[in-house]
Amino acid sequence: MPDYVADKIKPVWKLPFEGAWPVAVSFADSSSRVIAANQDGVMVQWQLPETPVAAKVKDENGKEIDGFETPLPTRQLIGHANTVTQIVPSANGQILFSASYDRTVFAWDLNATPSSESELVVDRDTRERAAKRVEAKKRPEILDAPGVKLASIAPVNTLTGHKDWINALDLSRSGDRLISGDDSGLVIVWDAKTRQKISSWQCPGVAWIVAAALSPDGQTAVISQYRRKGGDFNNYPAGLRIFKVADGSVLLDVLATLYPKEKNPPYQYQYAYHEFVADGLVALAFSPDGKLLAAGQGGEGGGGKIHFLETETGKVVRSVTGHKYGVTDLLFTADGKYLFSAGRDTRFRITRVEDGGEVAVIGKERGGQFTDWLASIALSPDERRLAAADISGFVQVWDLG
C-alpha cells in the first residue's frame, strides 16, 4: 500500500443529500459505489465514475470554479424509519448492513432487482434558499420541481431483536460475524451469511451501547457504553469492556482496570470521565491484527482524544489529540499502518499508528464557535477514496492520492 501524503489528498465531489442530516456513509464493492443515509432514515446509493468528469462547479460563495460533474444518486434503499447510525459492507461488498434508531438492522443486496421507482429531492435546502430570492408566486415552481428518479430496493433481511436505538454495528475483518448493540444494553452477534443470532447478552448498568467492534476473528467483542449523565444517577453511566462472544462473559473491564474502584469511592468513574471517557467513547476500531484497539471520545466536552489500547491488557499505549471537538468515526487501514478519524470539527485526520504521528489533517472547520460535523467516514476497498457524511447536506468524496 502506498503511504498517504497530505498535499496529494484532493476533494472530488460534494454529493448533495440535503434535508435531514446525512450521518452514515459507506462504500460497497468498489470505489465507484457509495451509499449514505440520513437522520430520517433515507438511504441512497451513488454510482461514481472511475475518473471524474471535469466541469465548472459553484463554490461556497456561488462563484464558478473548475471542478467535476456532480453525480446524482441512482438508487434508494427503502426501509428505515428513523436515523440510520451505521452502514457496514459485507466482505465482498455485495451486501450492506445498516442499523437505525428504528431498532432494526437491515441486510441489503445491492444487486437485487429494483422493486419500484421512487422520487427524492436531494437539494431541498438549495431550493428553499432560491425560493426566498424570488417573488412568492414563483416559489412553488422551485420548491415543487420534480426530484431525482430512483430505482428502489427493499432489504433482503430484517435482523430483529433490538429494543432501543441501535448505535453500534460492526463486521469482523474475517467477514463472518456481525455485532449490533442498542441503548438498552443488549448486544447481539449475528452470522453475517445466514443472518442468524450466534449469541446475545445484556451489558451491565443503565448506560447505552454507543459503539461496538469485533476482533478480526470475531471471537471477542469490545463494547463501549455511555449515558449522558444527568448529574444524579446512582448507576455508573459508562463502560468499556471486552467480552467473549461465545457466552457474553467479560474478559476485561478496561475502565475498572484503568481506574480501580477502590481509589475514589463512591464516584468511581469520576476520573475516568475527565480523562478517559469524556462525553463517551463513541467510536471503536480493532487494528487488523487484533492487537490494538482505538477508541475515540465523542460529544463535545472531551477534546476528541483517540486512545490506543492493548487489547490483551487494556493498557493505554497512547492518546492522540487533534480533533477540536468530539470524534465521530474511526477506521484502520487494512495494513494497520494508519488510522482515519472524523470529527465534529468538519475534518478528517490520518494518524500513523506506529507512533501516533499526524500524517494529514483534511478539511476546513465550518460553522461558528461550534463547527459542523463529519458524522461518519468510509474508505473505498482500494483505500484510495474516502467518503464523508457532512451534516450540512452532502457527502464529501476525496481522492487520497
Partner 1 sequence: MNPDCPLEEHVSRRALLKGVLATSSGATVANWGGLFASPARAEEVKQNQKRCILLWMNGGASQFETFDMKIGRPNGGPFRPISTNVASTQVCELLPKISQQMDKLTVIRSMHTSQIDHPQGIHLMHTAYSEAANIRFPEFGAVIAKSLGHVGSSLPNFIKIGSNGDSGSGFLGPKYQPFTMSHDGRLPTFAQSSLAPGIESRRNELRQFVEDQYAVKHHVETAKMHREAYERARRLQSALKTFKIDDEWAKYESLYGDSFFGRNCLLARQLVEAGVPFVEIGHSGYDTHADNFTGHKGLLPPMDQGWAGLLTDLHERGLLANTLVVWMGEIGRTPQINNRAGRDHYVRAWSTALAGGGVKGGYVHGATDQDGRDVTSGEVKEGDFFATIYQALGINPSTEHFAGSRPVPIAPFGSKVVRDLLV
Q: How far is the CB of 334 from partner 1 (least distance, A)?
A: 32
Q: Is 372 in the site for partner 1 (CB under 8 A)?
A: yes
Contact 350, 339 (CB under 8 A): yes
- In angstroms, the CA 385 to CA 397 distance is 7
Q: Could you give the string, one character per residue 217-236, with x where binding to partner 1 holds by CB under 8 A and - elsewhere?
A: ----------xxxxxxxxx-
Q: Check residue 46 for interaction with partner 1 (CB under 8 A).
A: no
d(CA 72, CA 338): 31
User: Can residue 127 be called a binding residue for partner 1 (CB under 8 A)?
Assistant: no
From 31, 38, 45, 83, residue interacting with partner 1 (rule: CB under 8 A): 83
Residue found by looking up cell 457474553 in the block: 248
Rule CB under 8 A: say whether 284 interacts with partner 1.
Answer: no
Given candidates 5, 129, 261, 370, which one binds partner 1 under the rule CB under 8 A? 370
User: Which of 21, 243 has the CB closer to partner 1?
Assistant: 21
Nearer CB in complex with partner 1: 20/317? 20
Number of Cα atoms under 13 Å in the Cβ half of residue 137: 0
- Which grid coordinates are listed for 178? 456481525
Nearer to partner 1, 29 or 102 (CB): 102
> What amino acid is encoded at 385 in this protein?
R
Rounded to a whole number of angstroms, the minimum distance from the CB of residue 299 to partner 1 is 6
* Beta pairing class for 73-77 and 148-153: parallel
State yes or no: residue 67 binds partner 1 (CB under 8 A).
Answer: no
Tell me which residues in 303-322 interact with partner 1 (CB under 8 A): none
CA angle 349, 209, 370 (to 5 degrees): 40
Taking CB under 8 A as the criterion, the residue among 371, 376, 380, 396 binding partner 1 is 371
Query: How many angstroms separate the CA atoms of 140 and 73, rounded?
Result: 24
User: DSSP per residue over 274-302, as a string?
Assistant: IIIITT-EEEEEE-TTSSEEEEEE-TTTS
> In the complex, which residues of this chain contact partner 1 (CB under 8 A)?
19-20, 39, 82-83, 101, 165, 183, 208, 227-235, 237, 279, 299-300, 344, 367, 370-373, 391-392
